């Protein structure tokens, strides 16, 4: 367990579900300890509320569930929209990525996956073309989630039908990717993260 | 829609629709509850991601995704916790219930997931919920009920509905008390009594 005064995020070395918060913390310029594990030992599991990673520690406050961690950090840094309606439109997109898209490419059925990408990323692309942001009039966690989700599918390669997500097909999401990757913290995180399969 | 009443649309099966339905009924919300048989092409075009559930508030604000809907309703009723940390614990519980309890339970009920998963969920998740309630009285650790308590109640209620009651016997007194608390709520009692049977057991 970390004794550091900065928050810590514990997850496997791979990107997986840990990447959303890693990218978010990096984007917001929040110093944190990035703890990676190769497996969940019995000793570690005993400290996890539901026996799962990622886990985020902020002082003596402990939090699990990847989307919850991201929303907590975003909420603390005014990155969840400007009002109640915006906050839950952000939430709607975060949940869509986490609950509908991510599980689908773990057991991919190509035709289903293709339709899923068209439905979701098509909707995101359209919204970005119309207003420049996924929710409201500024960048929020929704934009970051779509960027990370999009980027991760492409990283996973053809097993995740990554060729469906081309810059040509989704130019605005490609711009979103450029926007986040030009951020100093995100650029540094990308440069330093290890090469992994997942 | 010319009415100013909020509306909620989902199928007859409980699964994900029951969470917003329980939430709305708990607060005694006067809303139009649409039990949808199927999503035709015309209707699908109006849905953000082509999916249900859909909630339309009285001012026309539209929201999809089960948890987003429940949290939005809860936020309007100060039912998400009193601090950013309490709220995060509520969120953590919601994610755990949705992803790791309701969905696998539904899949087992549908026959597409191994039944053994139920024992793991009961020993891991329901035991955690029971221990938290024994220690704190409320799931999010504050001084009152929140959406986290409601979600845990719905999960417990749903697993009994799915036929797993015997696995709970005498093991979870605090979850039993939580169930009794929510089922004594007038709106919830009415909903349980009047909801249609999907005929599919899920």
- Structural domain spans, chain A: 8-77+184-192, 84-181
Question: Cβ A49–B92 below 8 Å, yes or no?
Answer: yes
Distance in angstroms (rounded) separating the CA atoms of residues A108 and A113: 6
Residue B143 phi/psi, 5° resolution?
-115, 20
Instruction: Report all structural domains of chain B as residue ranges with CATH numbers, in order of start.
Output: 7-77+187-194 (3.40.30.10), 84-184 (1.20.1050.10)
For residue B10, the surrounding DSSP H or E stretch is strand B7-10
Closest chain B CA to residue A58: B85
Q: Give the pLDDT mean for A29-54.
A: 92
d(CA A124, CA A130): 10
Task: Indicate whether B10 pLDDT > 70.
Answer: yes
Q: Does A63 contact B at CB distance below 8 Å?
A: yes
Partners of B71 on chain A (C-beta within 8 Å) are 88, 91
* Pair of tokens at residue B105: 């339970």
Short-list A102, A15, A25, CA closest to A57: A25
Alpha-carbon gap, residue B66 to A96, rounded angstroms: 10
| CB contact (8 A) between residue B92 and residue A65 | yes
CA distance A11 to A34: 8
- Give the sign of the dihedral formed by CA A168, CA A172, CA A173, CA A175: positive
Burial zone of B198 (CB within 10 Å; 0-12 exposed, 13-18 middle, 19+ buried):
middle
Q: What is the pLDDT of residues B126-154, one digit of tens each?
A: 999 999 999 888 999 998 999 999 999 99
Among A15-24, A128-137, A152-161, A178-187, name the one with the lowest average pLDDT: A152-161
Backbone angles phi, psi at A63, to 5 degrees: -140, 140
**In this complex, how many residue pairs, one in chain A and one in chain B, have their CB atoms less than 8 Å apart?**
80
Quick check: A25 and A73 in contact, CB under 8 A?
Answer: yes
Give the confidence band of B2 by pLDDT, cuts at 50, 70, 90.
Answer: low
- Identify whether the C-beta of residue A114 lies closer than 8 Å to the C-beta of residue A64: no
Over residues B96-106, mean pLDDT:
95
Strand partners of residue A9 = A34, A56
All residues at 6 or more sequence positions from A121 whose CB lies less than 8 Å from its CB, including other chains: A146, A150, A165, A170, A173
A99 vs B contacts (CB less than 8 Å) = 65, 67, 98-99
- Closest CB from B48, B72, B95 relative to A68: B95
Any bridge partners for residue A10, and if so which? A35, A55
| B169 is an annotated ligand-binding site residue | no
Residue B88 and residue A63: Cβ atoms within 8 Å? yes
**B20-75 confidence digits (pLDDT tens):** 999 999 999 999 999 998 999 989 889 989 989 999 999 999 999 999 999 999 99
pLDDT at B1: 47
Residue of B nearest to A76 (CA): B84
For A83-130, the pLDDT digits (tens) are 999 999 999 999 999 899 988 877 778 878 888 998 899 999 999 989
Pick the CATH number of A8-77+184-192 from 3.40.640.10, 1.20.120.1730, 3.40.30.10, 3.40.605.10: 3.40.30.10
Chain B residues with CB inside 8 Å of A49's CB? 92, 96, 128
Residues of B within an 8 Å Cβ radius of A: 48-51, 61, 63-69, 71-72, 75-76, 84-85, 87-89, 91-92, 94-96, 98-100, 124-125, 128
Distance from CA of A178 to the nearest CA of B (A): 25
Average pLDDT of the residues in B13-19: 94
Residue B83 CB burial class (10 angstroms; 0-12, 13-18, ≥19): exposed
Lookup: tokens for A31: 């110093």
Q: Considering the domain A84-181 in this protein, what is its CATH number?
A: 1.20.1050.10
């Amino acid at each position: 367990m970390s004794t550091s005064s900065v928050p810590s995020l514990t997850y496997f070395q791979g990107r997986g579900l840990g990447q959303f918060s890693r990218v978010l913390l990096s984007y917001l310029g929040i110093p944190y300890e990035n703890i990676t594990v190769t497996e969940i030992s019995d000793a570690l599991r005993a400290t996890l509320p539901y026996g799962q990673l990622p886990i985020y520690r902020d002082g003596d406050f402990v939090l699990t569930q990847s989307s919850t961690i991201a929303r907590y950090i975003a909420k603390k840094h005014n990155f969840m929209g400007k009002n109640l309606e915006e906050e839950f439109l952000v939430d709607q997109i975060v949940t869509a990525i986490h609950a509908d898209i991510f599980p689908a490419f773990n057991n991919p059925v190509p035709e289903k996956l293709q339709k899923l990408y068209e439905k979701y990323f098509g909707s995101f692309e359209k919204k970005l073309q119309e207003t420049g942001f996924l929710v409201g009039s500024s960048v929020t966690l929704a934009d970051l989630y779509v960027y990370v989700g999009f980027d991760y599918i492409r990283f996973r390669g053809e097993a995740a039908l990554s060729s469906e997500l081309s810059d040509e097909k989704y130019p605005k999401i490609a711009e979103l990717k450029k926007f986040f990757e030009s951020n100093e913290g995100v650029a540094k995180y990308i440069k330093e993260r290890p090469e992994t399969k997942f | 829609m010319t009415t100013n009443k909020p509306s909620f649309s989902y199928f007859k099966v409980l699964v994900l629709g029951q969470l917003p339905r329980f939430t709305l009924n708990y607060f005694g919300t006067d809303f139009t509850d649409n039990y949808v048989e199927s999503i035709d092409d015309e209707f699908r075009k109006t849905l953000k991601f082509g999916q249900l559930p859909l909630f339309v508030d009285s001012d026309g604000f539209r929201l999809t995704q089960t948890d987003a809907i429940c949290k939005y309703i809860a936020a309007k009723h100060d039912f998400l916790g009193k601090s950013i940390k309490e709220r995060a614990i509520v969120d953590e519980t919601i994610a755990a219930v949705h992803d790791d309890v309701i969905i696998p339970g539904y899949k087992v009920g549908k026959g597409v997931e191994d039944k053994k998963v139920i024992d793991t969920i009961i020993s891991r998740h329901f035991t955690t919920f029971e221990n938290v309630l024994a220690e704190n009285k409320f799931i999010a650790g504050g001084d009152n009920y929140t959406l986290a308590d409601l979600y845990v109640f719905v999960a417990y209620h749903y697993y009994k509905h799915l036929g797993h009651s015997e696995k709970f016997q005498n093991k979870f007194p605090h979850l039993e008390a939580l169930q009794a608390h929510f089922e004594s709520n007038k709106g919830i009692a009415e909903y349980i009594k009047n909801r249609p049977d999907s005929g599919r057991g899920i």
